[in-house]
Structure 1
Amino acid sequence: MEHYVRLIPYQVIELAEMVNEVPKGVELIQAPKIWNDTKGKGVTVAVLDTGCDITHPNLQGQAIGGRNFTDDDGGNPDIFKDYNGHGTHVAGTIAAKQNDNGVIGVAPEANLLILKVLNKNGSGKYEWIINGINHAIEQKVDIISMSLGGPNDIPELYGAVKKAVTNNILVVCAAGNEGDDDDSTDEFSFPASYNEVISVGAVNLERRSSNFTNSNNEIDLVALGEAILSTYLNGKYATLSGTSMAAPHVSGALALIKNLANNYFGRELTEPELYAQLIKRTVPLGNSPKLEGNGLVYLTVLEHLANVFDQEFLNKVFYEMSV
C-alpha cells in the first residue's frame, strides 16, 4: 500500500481582503527588534508545501524560483501555483515583504524557493517530498521549511533529511496537530520526529501550549501557532491555526540568525552551530518539555541577558563603593 504525506491539519479562522499590521507571531518572537541589523537578505528558504501564489502583493519578487513535484497541472514541473492556500500562508509568515500594506514576514528580505510537494488536496506521495528535499539540496538552499507530515517512518525520507543536514541545511518541520492535551502520551509525525529535524510545536498568545500540538521528546522549541495572520490566495489574507503556522516562524527566525551569526563570527557557521545559536535564543515557558522543548524562540534574549548581567555588575560595584 502506498503511503502519503499530508498537510499538518490546520484551521482557517478568518479571511480578509485588506489588512495592515505586523502579525502577532512575528512580534512575539521579537523579529522587528532586530530588523535594523538584518532582515534575512541573501538567505534562501525552501518552502516544501502546496505551492505559492507568487503574485500576491506581499510575495511578489520574494521567490527566486520554484518547481512542481505533484500531479497538479498534469505534473508540469514549471507550474507551482497554489490551489490550496496553505503554502502561500506559510511563505508569507517566513518572508512577506515590507511594503506598508498587508503583512510582513519574520525575514522580509529572505529568498524563497517554492517546491510544490503537496497537491491541491494537501496530499503528497513520499516520493514527491523526497524529490523536493533533494532538489533543495541541489539548489544549495540554507533552510528547508516543511509544514507537513505523516505517521510512517520511511527510510528514504529519513535518508533525504540526513543528506540535507550533511549539506549544512537546517531542516524545520511542524510537530503535528494530533496532540491530546496530555503530555504523558506521545504523538509522532514524520519527518518532524527525526532527531536531525528542528521540530516546532505551537503555543497561544498566553504562552501556553496549544491543546492540539503533538507531545514527544523530539520537540525542539515552539512559536505562536494560533490565530496567525498571513498571505493567502487571490491577494487575500487569512488567519489560520496549527503547528503548520508555528514552524515558518522558526524558519524565518533562522534566516535572521544565520545572518547575525555569520556576521559576528566572520564565517559561515555549520548546521550544528546554527542550531545552537537558535536554541540560545529560546526562553522556557513552564510547559512540559515534551510540549515546548527548549521553549519559545525569542530573538533578543541574549541582549536582554546582557543588560541584566550589566545591571547586576553595576549594582555590585555601587554596593562595594558604598561600604
Structure 2
Amino acid sequence: MANFAHVIPFEVIIQMTEANEVPPGVELIQAPAIWKETKGKGVTVAILDTGCDSTHPDLQEQIIGGQNFTDDDGSNPDIFLDYNGHGTHVAGTIAAQKDDKGVVGVAPEASLLIVKVLNKKGSGQYEWIINGIDYAIEQKVDIISMSLGGPTDLPELHEAIKRAVSNNILVVCAAGNEGDGNDLTDEYAFPGRYNEVISVGAINLERSPSDFTNSHDEIDLVAPGEKILSTYLNGKFATLSGTSMAAPHVSGALALIKGLVNNSFGRELSERELYAQLIKRTVPLGFPQRIEGNGLVYLTVLEQLTGVFEREIKALVLSSQ
C-alpha cells in the first residue's frame, strides 16, 4: 500500500499578518444568518490533513485533540503540528472562532479533531489516511473533512469510508483540481469520486464554476473555492484557492445543519437524513449537474422559500377580499 495521496493542489495567493472580517465565502453560503440559532456547538469535525497550527489564536479553543499518522516528527503520534499550511487553512474555514478579530469560520463553535495524515510536503500514504479514518470513527466524530486525494482507487480506502458512513459519520471530500473547464470530460480523484462521500466542487465568489474543479457524475454540490481567506501558519492568515477550500465550507455547513435539525427533530438524525437536509439547502446555479451537482450550499434557502410562500398566501388572501 505504498501509493501516495496528496493535498488537493492549491494556490497561495497572499499571506498577511492581520485580518478582521467574516470571509466572503462564509458570507456567500449564508452562515452568519444561522449563528443566532447555532454556531455548531456540540458537533465534532475531524480534519484529515497536514495537521494544524494549534496555537493559532483563532483556532486554539476549538481543537479538542488529535493524532499524527505521518512520518513527520519521527512519527510521534502526539505531535500533529502543521508545517505545510494547508490543514490550518482548512481548519479556519470550518471553525475559526468568532472573536471580532482575525477571521471566523462557518461553524465557529464546532470542535475540531486534528488527524494528521499528510506530512510537511502535503503527501501521505493511503495507509496513514485509512488509519486516520479509523481513528476518527473511534473518537465518535460527527463529520470527517478530507481536502486530499489521489488517482488510485484503493479498495481498502473505500472500505474505510464505508465504515465511517455506517457509523453515522458524514464524510466530506474535495472533488479535485484536475478540471479542464469542460463538463463533458471526467476527472477523478479518490476518495472524492466515491458515491459514499459528499463530493464538493468549487465556484468563485461570483458563483461561476472554477476552471480547475473536477467534473463527473458523483459531484454532490459546490462551495466557494477561489481567493478564500482563512487561518495560516504562525498565527497568520492567507488567501488560497482550490477545491480544498470548498470542501471545508460544506463540513462547517453540516455542523450548523446538524445543530439546527437535531434541535427541531428532537433526535439524532442519520447520516442519510443529514445528507438530505444538506441537499435541501442548495440552490442550482444553472450549470451542468456534472459540474455543480445539486448546486451551491445556501443555508437560508428554506427560510427564504418559506417567506416567499407566506407572502404569496397573503397576496392571494388580499386579492380575494
| Equivalent residues in 2 for 1:145-224, closer than 5 Å | 145-224=145-224
Kindly state the Cα deviation for residue 138 of structure 1 after the two structures are TM-superposed: 0.3
* 1:313 aligned partner: 313
> 1:295 is matched by which residue type in structure 2?
G
* 1:34 aligned partner: 34
Q: Distance in 1 between matches of 2:54 and 2:36?
A: 26
* 2:4 aligned partner: 4
User: Any idea what SS the aligned residue of 2:255 has?
Assistant: helix
- Supply the RMSD in Å over aligned alpha carbons: 0.6
Q: Distance in 2 between matches of 1:208 and 1:227?
A: 13
Q: Distance in 2 between matches of 1:225 and 1:124?
A: 23
| Equivalent residues in 2 for 1:21-170, closer than 5 Å | 21-170=21-170
Quick one: percent identity of the two aligned structures?
Answer: 74
User: Any idea what SS the aligned residue of 2:171 has?
Assistant: strand
Q: Distance in 1 between matches of 2:240 and 2:172?
A: 19
Q: Distance in 2 between matches of 1:72 and 1:99?
A: 32
Kindly state the Cα deviation for residue 76 of structure 1 after the two structures are TM-superposed: 0.2
User: Any idea what SS the aligned residue of 1:162 has?
Assistant: helix
Q: Distance in 1 between matches of 2:258 and 2:215?
A: 28
Return 5+ residue gaps in structure 1 as ranges. Answer: none
Q: Distance in 2 between matches of 1:142 and 1:211?
A: 32
User: Any idea what SS the aligned residue of 1:131 has?
Assistant: helix
Kindly state the Cα deviation for residue 205 of structure 1 after the two structures are TM-superposed: 1.2
Q: Distance in 2 between matches of 1:44 and 1:220?
A: 22
User: Any idea what SS the aligned residue of 1:173 has?
Assistant: strand
Q: Distance in 1 between matches of 2:123 and 2:22?
A: 31
Cα deviation per residue 1:1-34 (whole Å; 9 max; x = unaligned)? 8210011000000000101000001000000001
> 2:99 is matched by which residue type in structure 1?
N
Query: Normalising by structure 1, what TM-score?
Result: 0.99
Kindly state the Cα deviation for residue 55 of structure 1 after the two structures are TM-superposed: 0.2
Kindly state the Cα deviation for residue 165 of structure 1 after the two structures are TM-superposed: 0.3
| Equivalent residues in 2 for 1:162-311, closer than 5 Å | 162-311=162-311
Q: Distance in 1 between matches of 2:174 and 2:2?
A: 23
> 2:24 is matched by which residue type in structure 1?
K
> 1:60 is matched by which residue type in structure 2?
Q
> 1:55 is matched by which residue type in structure 2?
T
Q: Distance in 2 between matches of 1:203 and 1:182?
A: 14
Cα deviation per residue 1:109-146 (whole Å; 9 max; x = unaligned)? 00000000000000000000000000000000000000
Kindly state the Cα deviation for residue 318 of structure 1 after the two structures are TM-superposed: 1.1
Kindly state the Cα deviation for residue 301 of structure 1 after the two structures are TM-superposed: 0.2
Q: Distance in 2 between matches of 1:53 and 1:200?
A: 24
User: Any idea what SS the aligned residue of 2:20 has?
Assistant: coil
User: Any idea what SS the aligned residue of 1:277 has?
Assistant: helix
Q: Distance in 2 between matches of 1:312 and 1:75?
A: 62
Q: Distance in 1 between matches of 2:206 and 2:82?
A: 32
Cα deviation per residue 1:141-184 (whole Å; 9 max; x = unaligned)? 00000000001110000000000000000000000000000001
Q: Distance in 2 between matches of 1:273 and 1:2?
A: 36
Return 5+ residue gaps in structure 2 as ranges. Answer: none
Aligned residues: 321
User: Any idea what SS the aligned residue of 2:59 has?
Assistant: coil
Q: Distance in 1 between matches of 2:44 and 2:2?
A: 32
